[in-house]
Amino acid sequence: MQPVLLWSDLFIWLLVAAGVIGAWWSARQPLLAAAWARVGRSRPGMAAATLLAAFALVGLLDSLHYRPQLPAKDGEKAAYSIEVLSVLDALLTPLRTRVEKTYSAPLATRAYAKEMLEIRQPDGSVVKQRDYPRLRHGGAALGDDEGRAGADIAGRALRALAVAALVWLALCALVARRIAGHGAPAAASIEPAGEPLAFGAAWCRLWRGDTAFAWNAVLATLGIVLAIACVLAGLAGEYHVFGTDKVGQDVLYQVLKSVRTALVIGLVTTLVTLPLAVFLGIVAGYFRGWIDDLIQYLYTTLNSIPGVLLIAAAVLMMQVVIDTHPQWFATAAERADLRLLALCFILGLTSWTGLARLLRGEALKLRELEYVQAAQAFGVSDLRILGRHLLPNLMHIVIIALVMDFSGLVLAEAVLSYVGIGVDPTMISFGTMINNARMELGREPVVWWSLTAAFAFMFVLVLAANLLADAVRDAFDPRMAR
Amino acid sequence: MSDKRDLNSTPLLEVSNLSLGFTAGGRTLAAVSGLSFAVAAGETYALLGESGCGKSASALALMRLLPAAGRILGGDVCFEGRELFALPETEMRGVRGGGMAMIFQEPATSLNPVLTVGRQIGEVLARHAGLTGDAAQKRAEKLLAAVGIADPARRLNEYPFQLSGGMKQRVMIAVALAGNPRLLVADEPTTALDVTIQAQILDLLQDLQAEREMGMLLITHDLGVVARMAHRVGVMYAGELVEEAAAADFFATPRHPYTEALFAALPDLSRRGSRLQTIAGQVPTLAAMPAGCRFAPRCPHAWERCRSESPDWSVAGDGHRVRCHLLSEADRRSPVATVVAEAAASTVAASVAAEPVLQVADLKVHFPIRRGILQRTVGHVRAVDGVSLNLTAGRTLALVGESGCGKTTVGKAVLQLLAPTAGSVRLDGREIAGLSRRELRPLRRRMQMVFQDPFASLNPRLTVGEIIAEGMQALLGDARKSAAEMQAAIAALLAQVGLDAGAVDRYPHEFSGGQRQRIAIARALAVQPELLICDEPTSALDVSVQAQILNLLGELQASLGLAYLFITHNFAVVEHLAHEVAVMYLGRIVERGTVEDVLRQPQHPYTKALLSAVPSPKPATGAGGSIIRLPGETPSPSNPPAGCHFHPRCAFATAECRERYPDERALSATRVVRCHLYR
Amino acid sequence: MLAYIVRRLLYAIPILIGVNLLTFALFFVVNTPDDMARMQLGVKRVTPEAIEKWKAERGYDKPLFVNGAAAGVGAVTETIFFEKSARMFAGDFGRAEDGRDIAREIRTRMVPSLAIALPTFVLGLFVTVSFALLLAFFRATPLDFWGVVLCVAMMSISGLFYIIGGQYLFSKIFRLVPISGFGEGLDALRFLVLPVLIGVVSGIGSSTRWYRTIFLEEINKDYVRTARAKGLSETAVLFGHVLRNALIPILTGVVVVIPLLFMGSLLTESFFGIPGLGSYTIDAINAQDFAVVRAMVFIGSVLYIVGLILTDISYTLVDPRIRFN
């Protein structure tokens, strides 16, 4: 096995590192820490964060890539597959490899369309007959006893639920013990940490929501996530839980793979946006004069080109570059990955203007504040004033913008991929899934599962992001905090 | 105030046992408890208190206009025999604006910016007088004329942004009067205005009230305004009424220790050079109200009973009641209360004839006005237009003037935070105007600034230690102090401004306004300046806290020999602290001299008017001199009147005044006036 | 005020030039015309002659900025920049891959685009502002809470879902309206109902929430307290005072997009098979027709700048502070 670091992996892990550093830094800043604590108190916010953490886990597992070693012939150097896999792929090997011929409905044992089948009669003769063919993998363990499918599915689901319940109860107990150990009642922060609570009291407090951190929301969400995940895991081994698509690939697998694409689009784009917006916005507001005029001209010009068209133009040009330089890419995955990154880059370049304008306005206000003038009176250098006095006091806007942008970008990916200027068609994403599946709505009966799965997952992801964004905005907006 | 009123008749407004609170985080904190008072028709009742005592919230509660988080927890408000808290909302709307009207502190934000004046008055006329169309137009014109607005017909079609601050407040008053209210609630009606405008508005309110036999509930923090306006006074402290008396009684013999302390904390000439009495500690927060008397933790006389038992009302005379245990146990009064005259005054006079620290000559700061398609400069705002000053070590020069006169701009131009357009600024004899940033750097540590707003002058993201260290690192960086030395230096500075060394690692939001101002002073002192420019350092603070800061500044000057350029609009502070005074009007100094000369015998008509407009908290002395009321308001510095800038408002203006700006005229060695009256 | 508007108009010139240069750089400097030819011709037919022919047919065989071979003014005019980019200022967009004149195509396709976009815009604005006012009136009540929840949920749904779901539900299941297509005259109406409805519904979530925030921000201002102290009813306060002031920030976001309505909606038009500019753009993108995309980028920016100027003008109408300064 040969580890592969795709460019997007690099950015993702960079982001993780930045997140860790950011957390450490804001823990040291009492005002930021207090704001985060307010986020922690928000029940919808924490429920959303738990969901997002589950998505992030999937995405991160999908961001550790490698090339599996091909079965080596004796004495030869080890050869590696040109196929790049991720840890998630390895975990989902059964889903990835058990491909049917074409469409099949969720949990089906037979295909979606009738085919001419040759049925061997008991007497040995072969009769040709149009029927739904048996799936190669879906419900294979049932053998000929297809009627047992319902009972089998129910049994597997129940067992999975039982496991989920056990794990969940254990987690709850763990949290309750933690609360009991701390003992400090949350609502009254004035009181010092009291003596340890009895476990039962802690348990009650936990579910009454009388904790500084919205543990009850986290645990409730975790319970739902666990239940769904366990049931899916319990059934996915034997059935195609969400059905299969046109080429017979498992839809559940596709949906899970889409998560990483969505996360990359939503997060890596901000890596491009933030430095541009923060630097140009603050500099324009602080220095004013011709620097301000220039930066304003720059973003008004960029802004005046309708976003989709600018993206379309840039993506078209990028496509030309990629198509005319096939020698740059060793594997198809690499090409798709670079195209994804380029898309992030283009999205970032076209979307920094809003935040920059916002920050410029705030910087204009801040530069007139007396603490900035006091620093000027000490002869503190401009760069230091920007970094020490302006940036930290604009951080809340940046954080709010960051979480608010995420959901918009995830939604945009789907639209762009539909228009044909999104991710590489070979890359699995919500957009490509929807794009591939939408034509099938015309069929009779309808192939609804691919679309539904993609839309449902995207909805949950975006809703969670929006809820978290709301909680973060409420907590960080100085007008709200008092 | 001379007219005696029959206070026994049924009062117009009777508030009994009003309690209200604010909800936050699922809990309700009481902000006002057990408030009871009454206002009779034709009477002005002043509710006096420092910020946060609950006086404004009480007024809003009377109108049932508390913000969303506010809750009325109990009590009754009886207005003209009707229980307001029991009225349905539709009837209450008839009371609001019709029965009692309210005017607010900030005229700039209290009027709707996108509606004309006429529309905003017309709304009330339509609602409460049933007037529309021409009749409403006529009535609105009359109202505007009644509040002293010239050319009312034109003003009706104007928008609030086209009016000056004083005119906006007049319009606010006209809006309030439109419904013919029997009670006017005025919530700090003049706090946002300049003294000369304040005097006009107070006169107006007084006249209107007398004319219309209105009751008036005046909410203020200013003892001077109370003395000028009130028939009766109620003092609030931490959500409770602690003393109530007729105005004359109140100013003659204040009885509650808090009230006494308030008077003692007022700076004035008689207490020059000495420490002002301060009130120890701070106003308790809503979350941590003391159990007994709420003032007990800060009261010099408090004993056990005060801490455990909340005092009930004691009658101290005719209509004078006090909430204090001292009234029943007078022997408990400790004698320390009257420590006023400590002899610290003499140290100041030591250093006089030395070389001036700061010499400013003909300083000009002009801001270009750009107009038109190409944004060409079509004129200049002459914010500072030829100011000259001298300041020696250990002395305080007060730069006095109303808002927009350019006094703050002078301060910033001296510090080179703004580039002067012309003129020279010499620090220790060295010219600093026009120096590059590099050249200026070593000079920066000699002069520092203390800003007006203690909440905006400290970066909320830095610890107090970091804030104080910033200047040392930037300007004394060559010394490369070790961390330990730095820590020691910061601790010493904190001690010097009277803060605990534990403050180092804390953040500004954990401190009160007064403490923050101490931190700001420590930050300035960190680089050991010779000159400190204080830009209204106490105007955002309550009187009792202001006294602490003034004391601190006085001590620092005595011990370090600092020179202060003290920018202020408050004459009481000037009297207390300054050695010399310069009075500014529209970018120029119109009169300059020692504090005794200028304040005792003002020569320039503007200085005279300014001094006479300041409401004095001592009614007896204030009424002595002739009262000069300035007409109109300060013109815009972008287009000052020709000749003497002051002539349109001056009662003595002659033809010459309209043509030529008067030259400087030295009346004595220390006295300069710019007025054609003196030649 | 006139000077203000003239100044805004003048400011549009450098921005348009900037847009023009930017698109030129994007289309001709990032990739050479040779690359584009290779792309268009496909792998098999790429020969040097074919490339030259392709370029000559489309006028891409000239130098980018300066034509050294041409005499006089031709040194500047006989270049790709002048022919393809600068002439867009005169409304000359050249020909599409299929040989049709782009400017004419745009003129004919504008009508169906507007027929969809204008009703969607007007109806959407009315619905969202009313909904937001309703929520603001019932602020801090369960109605407000659930209204906001609904908005957040609605804005979390992909625009594609509204279209696909709407088509499936109304056209396929209920068979109320045709799935797609466009007709002449009044016949167009039955094709328009569904796209307009979907356009309005898909915009409700985010717009309502935004307007509600603006209303709430205004409601907390001092002048509202004054209005209440006058004895005005809550409705009078909301409609007479808050709405007027809230209009100012709402206008910023709304007026800018009015001219862009001409551009149509990419998604709606392509899903419903409406022969407007949106579907024109999408087809051009899919066919990699650079000339059309370039033209649309330019037109889009011109319309946006028109929108900016309209915003400025509308400010002067709504905000007396600007009108009189």
Question: From CA B581, how far away is CA B596, in angstroms rounded?
Answer: 9
Banded model confidence at residue B351, pLDDT cuts 50, 70, 90: very low
CB contact under 8 A, A392 and B471: no
| Minimal C-alpha gap between B528 and chain A (Å) | 12
| Minimal C-alpha gap between A279 and chain C (Å) | 22
| Minimal C-alpha gap between B183 and chain C (Å) | 13
B295 and B355 within one domain: no
Helix axis angle, B133-146 to B165-178, nearest 10°: 130
DSSP C83: I
**Best mutation target, A378, A382, A389, to test chain B (most B CBs within 10 A):** A378
3-state helix, strand, coil in chain A (%, to 5): 70, 5, 25
Q: Which residue in B has a C-alpha nearest to residue C232's C-alpha?
A: B93
* Residue B30 maps to a domain: no
What's chain B's average pLDDT? 87
Q: Is B324 exposed, middle or buried (0-12, 13-18, 19+ CB in 10 A)?
A: buried
Question: From CA C309, how far away is CA C307, in angstroms rounded?
Answer: 5
The amino acid at residue B420 is P
Type and span of the H or E element at B33: strand B27-39
What per-residue confidence (pLDDT) applies to B3? Answer: 44
Q: Which residues pair with B23 in a beta bridge?
A: B28
Residues in B closer than 8 angstroms to C222, CB to CB, are: 104, 106, 109-110
Helix (H, G, I), strand (E, B) or coil at B530: coil
B657 and B544 within one domain: yes
CB contact under 8 A, A317 and C30: yes
What's chain C's average pLDDT? 87
Question: From CA A415, how far away is CA C267, in angstroms rounded?
Answer: 8
Residues in A closer than 8 angstroms to C260, CB to CB, are: 306
In which domain, by residue range, is B314 found?
A: 270-332
What per-residue confidence (pLDDT) applies to C123? Answer: 96
Banded model confidence at residue B409, pLDDT cuts 50, 70, 90: very high
CB contact, 8 Å: B480 with chain A?
A: no
B370 and B306 within one domain: no
DSSP per residue, B441-493: HHHHTTEEEE-S-TTTSS-TTS-HHHHHHHHHHHHSGGG---HHHHHHHHHHH
Q: Is B473 exposed, middle or buried (0-12, 13-18, 19+ CB in 10 A)?
A: middle
- Sign of dihedral through CA atoms A78, A84, A85, A86? positive
Furthest CA-CA distance within chain C: 84
Q: Which residue has the higher pLDDT, A146 or B345?
A: A146
The backbone region for B561, taken as left when phi is positive above 0, alpha when psi lies in -120 to 50, beta otherwise, is left
| Minimal C-alpha gap between A419 and chain C (Å) | 6
B661 and B536 within one domain: yes
- Sign of dihedral through CA atoms C314, C318, C324, C325? negative
Q: Give me the average pLDDT of each 10-residue run along chain A (482 residues).
A: 87 92 87 87 92 95 88 73 86 86 84 78 80 80 79 90 94 86 50 59 79 87 93 87 87 93 92 91 93 93 88 85 81 85 91 92 92 91 92 88 88 88 88 84 79 93 93 77 40
What per-residue confidence (pLDDT) applies to C35? Answer: 79
Q: Tally Cβ neighbours within 10 Å of residue B2.
A: 4
Give residue-wise pLDDT tens across range B254-285: 989 999 999 888 887 666 767 888 888 778 88
Number of residues assigned to chain C = 325
Q: Which residue has the higher pLDDT, C89 or C230?
A: C230
Give residue-wise pLDDT tens across range B481-509: 677 888 888 999 999 898 888 888 888 88
**Best mutation target, A370, A393, A397, to test chain B (most B CBs within 10 A):** A370
Sole residue written with tokens 């929301």? A217
**Best mutation target, B409, B427, B470, to test chain A (most A CBs within 10 A):** B470
Q: Tally Cβ neighbours within 10 Å of residue A443.
A: 12
What per-residue confidence (pLDDT) applies to B622? Answer: 42
Number of residues assigned to chain B = 679
Helix (H, G, I), strand (E, B) or coil at A65: strand
DSSP A478: T
Sole residue written with tokens 């228009």? A419
CB contact under 8 A, C15 and A310: no
Q: Which range has highest mean pLDDT (A300-309, B93-102, C36-45)? A: B93-102
Sole residue written with tokens 């099949």? A104
B614 and B576 within one domain: yes
CB contact under 8 A, A324 and C35: yes
- Which residues have CB under 8 Å from C59's CB, separation 6+? C80, C83, C84, C94
Tokens found for residue C96: 């599409």
Helix (H, G, I), strand (E, B) or coil at B546: helix
B638 and B569 within one domain: yes
Banded model confidence at residue B353, pLDDT cuts 50, 70, 90: low
Global model pTM greater than 0.90: no
Distance of CA C294 to the CA centre of its chain: 15
Tokens found for residue B183: 């009670």
CB contact, 8 Å: B474 with chain A?
A: yes
CB contact under 8 A, C285 and A306: no
CB contact, 8 Å: B520 with chain A?
A: yes
Helix (H, G, I), strand (E, B) or coil at C311: helix
DSSP B96: B
Opening angle at CA C22, ends C21 and C26, nearest 5? 115
Residues in B closer than 8 angstroms to C227, CB to CB, are: 112, 123
- Which residues have CB under 8 Å from C300's CB, separation 6+? A305, A306, A309, C260, C263
Banded model confidence at residue B632, pLDDT cuts 50, 70, 90: confident
What per-residue confidence (pLDDT) applies to B591? Answer: 94
* Residue B86 maps to a domain: no
Q: Would the pLDDT of C104 be above 70?
A: yes
What per-residue confidence (pLDDT) applies to A195? Answer: 56
CB contact under 8 A, C263 and A317: no
CB pairs under 8 A between A and C: 123
Residues in C closer than 8 angstroms to B109, CB to CB, are: 221-223
A interface toward C at CB cutoff 8 Å? 297, 300-306, 308-310, 312-314, 316-317, 319-321, 323-324, 407, 411, 414-415, 418-421, 430, 434, 438, 441, 446, 451, 455, 458-459, 462-463, 465-467, 470
Q: Tally Cβ neighbours within 10 Å of residue A463.
A: 18
Backbone angles phi, psi at B18, to 5 degrees: -70, 130
B585 and B436 within one domain: yes
CB contact, 8 Å: B470 with chain A?
A: yes
* Residue B628 maps to a domain: yes
Banded model confidence at residue C28, pLDDT cuts 50, 70, 90: confident
Type and span of the H or E element at B658: helix B655-659
ipTM over 0.85: yes
Question: Final residue of a domain: which of B138, B155, B178?
Answer: B178
CB contact under 8 A, C285 and A455: no
**Best mutation target, A297, A301, A451, A458, to test chain C (most C CBs within 10 A):** A301
Q: Is A450 exposed, middle or buried (0-12, 13-18, 19+ CB in 10 A)?
A: buried
Tokens found for residue A59: 């995405």
| Minimal C-alpha gap between C7 and chain B (Å) | 5
Question: Final residue of a domain: which of B132, B155, B178?
Answer: B178
Banded model confidence at residue C155, pLDDT cuts 50, 70, 90: very high
Q: Which residue in A has a C-alpha nearest to residue C209's C-alpha?
A: A470
If you compute the radius of gyration of chain C from its CA atoms, what whole number of angstroms results?
25
Q: Would the pLDDT of C125 be above 70?
A: yes
Q: Tally Cβ neighbours within 10 Å of residue A81.
A: 14
Furthest CA-CA distance within chain B: 79
The backbone region for A75, taken as left when phi is positive above 0, alpha when psi lies in -120 to 50, beta otherwise, is left
Question: From CA B541, how far away is CA B52, in angstroms rounded?
Answer: 12
The amino acid at residue B545 is V
B632 and B552 within one domain: yes
Give residue-wise pLDDT tens across range B217-227: 999 999 999 99
Residues in A closer than 8 angstroms to B456, CB to CB, are: 369-371
C interface toward B at CB cutoff 8 Å? 3, 6-7, 10, 140, 220-223, 225-233, 236, 240-241, 244-245, 248, 318-321, 324
Query: What value does the mean pLDDT take over residues B193-208?
Result: 91
B388 and B537 within one domain: yes
Contact B42, B12 (CB under 8 A): no
Residues in B closer than 8 angstroms to C230, CB to CB, are: 96-97, 101, 123-124, 127, 175, 179
Helix (H, G, I), strand (E, B) or coil at B601: coil
B385 and B307 within one domain: no
Q: Would the pLDDT of C186 be above 80?
A: no
Nearest Cα to Cα of residue B155 among B133, B135, B131, B137: B137
The domain ranges of chain A are 147-236, 249-476
Give residue-wise pLDDT tens across range B539-573: 888 888 888 899 999 999 999 999 999 999 988 88
Banded model confidence at residue B626, pLDDT cuts 50, 70, 90: low
DSSP per residue, C2-64: HHHHHHHHHHHHHHHHHHHHHHHIIIIISS-HHHHHHHHH-STT--HHHHHHHHHHHTTTS-S
Tokens found for residue B233: 């006074």
What per-residue confidence (pLDDT) applies to A193? Answer: 45
What per-residue confidence (pLDDT) applies to B479? Answer: 56
| Minimal C-alpha gap between B499 and chain A (Å) | 20
**Best mutation target, B104, B161, B175, B373, to test chain C (most C CBs within 10 A):** B373
Which among A30, A375, A376 is the nearest to B507, CB-wise?
Answer: A30
Q: Which CATH superfamily is domain A249-476 in?
A: MetI-like (1.10.3720.10)
Q: Which residue in A has a C-alpha nearest to residue B24's C-alpha?
A: A482
* Residue B328 maps to a domain: yes
Helix (H, G, I), strand (E, B) or coil at C206: helix
CB contact under 8 A, C244 and B98: no
CB contact, 8 Å: B67 with chain A?
A: no
Residues in B closer than 8 angstroms to A375, CB to CB, are: 470, 474
Query: What value does the mean pLDDT take over residues B421-445?
Result: 90
Among A51-60, C6-15, C178-187, the least confident range: C178-187
* Residue B489 maps to a domain: no
Among B318-322, B338-342, B466-470, the least confident range: B338-342
Nearest Cα to Cα of residue B355 among B395, B382, B403: B395
Banded model confidence at residue B336, pLDDT cuts 50, 70, 90: low
Q: Number of helices and strands (H, E) in chain A?
A: 18, 5
Q: Above pLDDT 70, what percent of chain C?
A: 99
| Minimal C-alpha gap between B187 and chain C (Å) | 12
Nearest Cα to Cα of residue B94 among A162, C232, C185, A200: C232
Backbone angles phi, psi at A105, to 5 degrees: -75, 160
B326 and B358 within one domain: no
CB contact under 8 A, B109 and C230: no
B404 and B308 within one domain: no
CB contact under 8 A, A370 and B287: no
DSSP per residue, B374-443: TTEEEEEEEEEEEEEEEEETT-EEEEE--TTSSHHHHHHHHTTSS--SEEEEEETTEE-TT--HHHHHHH
**Best mutation target, C8, C19, C54, C161, to test chain A (most A CBs within 10 A):** C161
A interface toward B at CB cutoff 8 Å? 29-31, 187, 190, 369-371, 373-380, 388-389, 392-393
Question: From CA C79, how far away is CA B62, in angstroms rounded?
Answer: 78
For chain B, how many structural domains are there in total?
Answer: 3
Question: From CA B97, how far away is CA B121, in angstroms rounded?
Answer: 11
* Residue B510 maps to a domain: no
Q: Tally Cβ neighbours within 10 Å of residue B28.
A: 15
